[in-house]
Structure 1
């Protein structure tokens, strides 16, 4: 069995994040759901207080409150991989009229990279 190289793992992780980006920019959670573990969680600090929970809340928000944002600009700004664990930073501008910085933790499970957790910062409107 060949061990994947860093470049191969990096490409697979970026592909996973591409599903998340597609779902967000098209306001369709069905596109992003395959990127997440069924046990995934999401949190942020809203007004200084912890907010979040099961990833299903994100899917609900995307489907019911997001608007399609085909011109949103996303950049995977860092990918740190150690074995079957990874941490990723994503910056995205113009997603449903907002700007976000997301931090993801992924695990490689049964040969696939899956998002296990997401924390994010919603930048103030300009």
Structure 2
């Protein structure tokens, strides 16, 4: 009789732990999809395809910067300067139908751990890979925001 109770307890524990694992996986996938959606709206379309500075401001944290190596120093390009440049470019006869202004993307990886995420995204223009970007995100009370970028230009 005791063996039956132990077996029932083990089966229940296995069931609960499987349910918790599946729940975490579903939650993680939902977070990944929210992050991808944010990157598409604010980054791929905001900064490249549609030149939508307002979409950029919604998806990027105000302290965001692009970091790149300059000799042995780090160059920092803040979001305010970048978004202003995007708005000016759009105002200067931007043609969304021009193939040079059409950017394709591929999410190479999306990693989420709690309230932190890292996304590797590849950007292509006219069939050629131009950038590999690493975007860092944090989850705030208001949702996910892009907080930093490092990249490689091919």
TM range (shorter): 0.7 to 0.9
Task: Specify which structure has the bigger relative contact order, considering alpha-carbon pairs within 8 angstroms and separated by 6 or more residues.
Answer: 1
Instruction: Compute the TM-score of the two structures, normalised by the length of structure 2.
Output: 0.66
User: What corresponds to 2:135 in structure 1?
Assistant: 104
User: What corresponds to 1:21 in structure 2?
Assistant: 44
Change (3 A) 1:76 1:48: farther
Shift of 1:121: 1.9
Q: Is the 8 A contact 1:21 1:32 kept in 2?
A: no
Query: For the residues of structure 1 that align with 2:125 and 2:79, how far apart are their CA atoms?
Result: 22
User: What corresponds to 1:87 in structure 2?
Assistant: 118
Are positions 1:75 and 2:71 aligned together?
no
Q: Which has the higher helix share?
A: 2
Q: Is the 8 A contact 2:122 2:129 kept in 1?
A: no
Q: Which one has a bigger Cα radius of gyration?
A: 2
User: What corresponds to 2:153 in structure 1?
Assistant: 122
What is the aligned length?
121
Unpaired runs of at least 5, structure 2: 1-22
Q: Which has the higher strand share?
A: 1
Which of 28, 35, 55 is equivalent to 1:6?
A: 28
Aligned-pair Cα RMSD in Å: 2.8
Instruction: Compute the TM-score of the two structures, normalised by the length of structure 1.
Output: 0.79
Which of 28, 52, 61 is equivalent to 2:76?
A: 52
Unpaired runs of at least 5, structure 1: none
Change (3 A) 1:122 1:60: farther
